[in-house]
Amino acid sequence: MSEINKAIRGTGDVLPDQSYKWQFIENKMIETARLFGFKEIRIPVFEHTEVFTRSVGDTTDVVQKEMYTFEDKSGRSITLRPEFTAGVVRSVIEHGLVNCALPVKTCYVGACYRYEKPQAGRLREFHQFGVECFGASKPTADAEIITLANTILENIGIKNLSLEINSIGCPECRKVYHAALKEYLNSHSEELCDTCKGRLERNPMRVLDCKSPICSKIASAAPVMLDYLCNDCKEHFDGVKAHLSAADIDYKINTHIVRGLDYYTRTVFEFVSGDIGAQSTVCGGGRYDGLVGQMGGPQLPSLGFAMGLERLLMVMESQNVEFKPEQPCDVFIASMGEKAEIEATKLCCMLRDEGFCAVTDITSRGLKAQMKYANKIGATFSAVIGDNELMHGSCNLKNMETGEERQVTLPDGLVEAVYDFQINSVFEDLSDSVEGIETLFQNK
């Protein structure tokens, strides 16, 4: 197969027989976020490069190695978004949302881009759902967004996740911690990988996040940020834990969570799965109280999280989570002859106006081929329109599963019959359920 007929490495297609799974989880996420007061925001897929270098941090792997950056025709440096938070912050500053009633609660879903080695659960074009909350400083806000993330994961059916939390303090207490951490890491500087040697002066906490086995071993004995928290940060973290306990959400403290982006402060957290191998984090987030001010807005406490949709789907499939089935074709109308084709078009329009999925042949197949197609697309009902049906103003509506047929008048009787068939089907399902319950009580 030629290159032009292959997707670029690190990207993937969502085919029609899989897209309903994406729609299912996206709709669940947005609806659940709405219940917590979050409204959707949509931002451009690319921004001025400075949006990310100022926010994400020039010592991070994202900025140093992974961003898709290019010059446009005006010579401006443009970057495809590697994450959403910076772009959302830019948007709320530009449009004055920071001056609205606080807190401002936003959610989003869309694609991000990072140039890294493609592997299971990690693509160069990947998709995220996330939330950002601006103007809430209390630990109740931290607990609320963690509760929201937990509720979303429960609502889409994922089990066996663990919540890990940590506090990375504020800029003031981090100065003291950085000094202690650098002193420890300097004693092992010759053993660190080249990337971490570069991080040592500018952002030593990033060494704790390195995946190199040698650096990970060194990091395991490093000083812990929780031991250096100032009183305010300690009190805040204690409040987060208290509210999580009140919400009956289990957690464990992981002192090596630092997140991959520089803008985080205080609370950081991850939801981790043991069912998808090395790429086990399905949701990550935390607080970034200085980011809005850093990007030119007011000093505004903020926090959020993001979930990778590809990884969530991997977990759901590994756990055999049931997705809401795709809505099949309700009615297929086969036609024979030009006049019948026109009538079939009219009937499909009527059915669609009533909310039914209606399909008719648009490829000039023979009747036998049309009915085979109706079977392949899983049509619930079918009808055949020809000269005889047009002359008598009626046709037979067939239930494709049971074979039951009913003669209906055209055009209105067709719509009424589809409704009637569906109502009878609902009552039959209810009857079966009632009989099952009666049998259960009899057996008891």
Instruction: Give the tens place of pLDDT for each residue, 59-75.
Output: 566 777 789 999 999 99
Select from 318, 344, 365 the last residue of a domain. 318
Q: Does residue 134 lie within any of the structural domains?
A: yes
Residue 87 has pLDDT above 70, yes or no: yes
Residue 61 located in a structural domain: yes
The pLDDT assigned to 429 comes to 45
What is d(CA 104, CA 304) in angstroms, rounded to the nearest whole number? 12
Instruction: Indicate whether 136 and 242 sit together in one domain.
Output: yes
CB 359 within 8 A of CB 379: yes
Quickly list H helices, 266-336: 291-294, 309-318
Do residues 85 and 304 make contact, with C-beta atoms less than 8 angstroms apart?
yes
What is the average pLDDT score of the chain? 89
Quick check: is 376 in a domain?
A: yes
Q: How confident is the model at residue 5 (pLDDT cuts 50, 70, 90)?
A: confident
Q: Is 140 found in the same domain as 26?
A: yes
For the segment 354-378, what is each residue's pLDDT rounded down to a tens digit?
Answer: 999 999 999 999 999 999 999 999 9
CATH of the domain at 76: 3.30.930.10
The whole model's pTM is what? 0.85
Domain that includes residue 234, residue range: 3-170+230-318
Average pLDDT of 225-244? 96
Q: Are residues 247 and 299 in the same domain?
A: yes
Q: Please tell me the distance from the alpha carbon of residue 350 to that of residue 411, in angstroms, as a whole number.
A: 8
The answer to whether 304 touches 285, Cβ cutoff 8 Å, is: yes
Question: In 10 A of CB 420, how many CB atoms?
Answer: 14
Using the 3D structure, point to which of 318, 352, 376 is the last residue of a domain.
318
Cα-based distances in Å from 381 to 357, 360, 372, 401, 416? 11, 12, 13, 8, 13
Give the model's confidence band at 320: pLDDT under 50 very low, under 70 low, under 90 confident, else very high. Answer: very high
Q: Domain count for the chain, please give it.
A: 2
Considering the domain architecture, whether residues 300 and 340 belong to the same structural domain is answered as: no
Residue 298 lies in a domain: yes
One domain, residues 166 and 84: yes
Distance from C-alpha of 218 to C-alpha of 47, rounded to nearest angstrom = 37
Are 135 and 98 contacting, i.e. CB atoms less than 8 angstroms apart?
A: yes
Q: Are residues 121 and 250 in the same domain?
A: yes
| Confidence (pLDDT) at 276 | 65
- Residue ending a domain, among 285, 318, 351, is 318
Residue 259: predicted pLDDT:
67
Q: How many CB atoms lie within 10 A of CB 395?
A: 28
Show the tokens assigned to 133: 């909350």
For 325, counting Cβ atoms within 10 Å of its Cβ (0-12 exposed, 13-18 middle, 19+ buried), the class is exposed
pLDDT of residue 260: 58
DSSP state letters, 393-418: TEEEEEETTT--EEEEETTHHHHHHH
Q: What are the tokens at 260?
A: 């991959």
Q: What does the DSSP assignment read for 83-145?
A: -SHHHHHHHHHHTTGGGSSSSEEEEEEEEEE--S--BTTB-SEEEEEEEEEES--SHHHHHHH
**Is 115 among the domain residues?**
yes
pLDDT per residue over 110-137, tens digit each? 999 999 887 776 789 999 999 999 999 9
Same-domain status, 236 and 342: no
Closest CA to 397 of 334, 328, 336: 334
The first and second tokens of residue 2, run together, are 């030629």
Q: Looking at residue 428, what is its pLDDT?
A: 45
Residue 200 has, within 13 A of its CA and on its CB side, a CA count of 19
Distance CA(144)–CA(134), nearest Å, equals 13
Residue 258 pLDDT > 80: no
Question: In which residue are the tokens 């004995």 written?
Answer: 221
* CA-to-CA dists, residue 341 to 40, 169, 280, 347, 417, angstroms: 42, 70, 54, 10, 21
What gap in Å lies between CA 26 and CA 48, rounded to an integer? 28
